Amino acid sequence: MGGAPIRSRARRVALAGAASGLRTAGQRCPLWTADRLCLFSPDAMAREDDLRSQALTKPAFSETQASALVESVFGLKVSTVRPLPSYDDQNFHVHVSRTRDTADGPTEYVLKISNTESSKTPELIEVQSHIIMFLGAAGFPTASVCRTKGDNLTSLVSVDNNSEITSYLVRLLTYLPGRPIAEIPIGPQLLYEIGVLAAKLDKTLEKFHHPKLSCLRRENFIWNLKNVPRLENYLCALGQSRNREIVTQVIRLFKDEVLTKLSHFRECVNHGDLNDHNILVEASKSGSGGTAYQVSGILDFGDMSYGYYVFEVAITITYMMIESKSPLHVGGHVLAGFESVIPLTPVERGALFLLVCGRFCQSLVIAAHSCRLHPENTEYLMITAKTGWKHLQRMFDMGQKAVEEIWFQTARSYDSGISM
């Protein structure tokens, strides 16, 4: 979830107990003392003290405990389980053994255990799960959501850590094949196809209906792109530096030139996090004998919220730039693909530069702030920052007009059939 790679734990404390003691909602489970950490809670972004004082619980299940969960809640026989990288939840890659009842089913799954804050909003996770299923039925490469033995999409697991009962929402999704695009050389054609994917996803979600869909109006959610000005509360993490000066200017321009135009943008539901680790691809041989890549999976719907079409393309451009060898041209290729499905209006196009700058600022400032709180996780937290600051500085030095000229000229080249 979110743009920075991970929200870190404050510290590891002793875990005790046995997996056999797992219980579902309403039952005590004297298992372990859970990890404590500071999360960027949607309701606690007013001051740095809010983040420091709001100790929320990230799941700290062992592999044995995760295996017991899968067997007791979902009725599957686990053969192997290993942890996966996670943001503020906990994920496990699970292999199951085939049985007479599951002979035709998949054998690989992802067990997702939500943090305590997310577990307090089961309606949000329910809507996300229904969206995943809706998109899968519409032909998108999303996971399948597995039902519990009680025929539910989630189960609430309660843990007794002596002083209080802590509850976690648990889900099981099928495991998607492929490699994150962060691990491959990404060329213009794939960038174009990712732009198409982003637009088709938002367009398809126009047809999605659910009685609790309004829970995606997450006005205080820090990762919603319109909340860039909230970064003012965390600028101290940057010290007195040129980076801080750039972010300050981006926030000022964002207030003046983006927030004043929100009423002119077309609203939709955004995935909100189509980054280079949340899109999977598989390789195949191209007609020329080279390697071509096709999108095989879309991951992590935890940042979904109401936004605007232009937000989705801006977020996608930002993350596709991170590891690109030609970052300034990325925007044109992604934009061309997006606009082949949803052409932007002049007002939306005019905001694209500041929206991309704003997303870089969100990812970089929040990562810096988290590193300040938890320096032991600096290397993991600062993945985006390795090249992110360089790209943001370069864009800002060149200025909006020059960057837009590259983007829009690259996008126009697709109209003539000659992509740049």
What is the model's pLDDT at position 98? 79
Strand partners, 174: 109
pLDDT tens profile 2-17? 443 322 222 122 222 2
Q: Which two tokens stand for residue 184?
A: 């491959």
pTM: 0.84
Q: Convert the pLDDT of each residue in 34-71 to its tens digit.
A: 222 222 333 333 333 334 333 457 788 999 999 999 99
- pLDDT-based confidence at 27, cuts 50/70/90? very low
Q: In the structure encoding, which two tokens stand for residue 223, read together?
A: 């990762």
Could you tell me the pLDDT band of residue 419, with boundaries at 50, 70 and 90?
Answer: low
pLDDT, residue 103, reads 62
User: Where is pLDDT greater, at 382 or 348?
Assistant: 348
For position 159, what pLDDT does the model report? 83
Rounded to the nearest 10 degrees, how much is the dihedral formed by the CA atoms of 173, 177, 181, 187?
-140
Please report which helix (H) or strand (E) contains residue 196, including its range.
helix 188-204
Tell which wins on pLDDT, 42 or 243: 243
**For the chain, first and last CA: distance in Å?**
33
Which residues are marked as active site?
A: 273
Distance CA 167, CA 390 (A): 41
Question: Please, which residues have CB within 8 angstroms of residue 95's CB and are 6 or more apart in sequence?
Answer: 78, 79, 80, 81, 107, 108
Instruction: Output phi, psi for 276, to 5 deg.
Output: -75, 0
Mean pLDDT taken over the chain: 84
Rounded to an integer, what distance in angstroms lies between the CA atom of residue 46 and that of residue 258?
21
∠ CA 90-93-94, rounded to 5°: 120
- Would you state the pLDDT for residue 114? 94
C-alpha–C-alpha distance, residues 206 and 17, integer Å: 47
Query: CA neighbours within 13 Å on the CB side: how many for 57?
Result: 21
Q: For domain 63-174, is the CATH number 3.30.43.10?
A: no
Q: What is the pLDDT of residue 372?
A: 82
**Structural domain boundaries in the chain:** 63-174, 179-416
Tokens read off for 383: 């993945």
Q: How far is CA 289 from CA 212, 285, 390, 399, 413, in A?
A: 49, 6, 35, 40, 25
Q: How far apart are CA 349 and CA 328, in angstroms?
A: 16
Q: Could you report the per-residue pLDDT of 213-222, keeping only the tens digit for each? A: 999 999 999 9
What's the confidence (pLDDT) of residue 383?
66
Q: How confident is the model at residue 420 (pLDDT cuts 50, 70, 90)?
A: low
Domain 179-416: CATH superfamily is: Aminoglycoside phosphotransferase (APH), C-terminal lobe (3.90.1200.10)
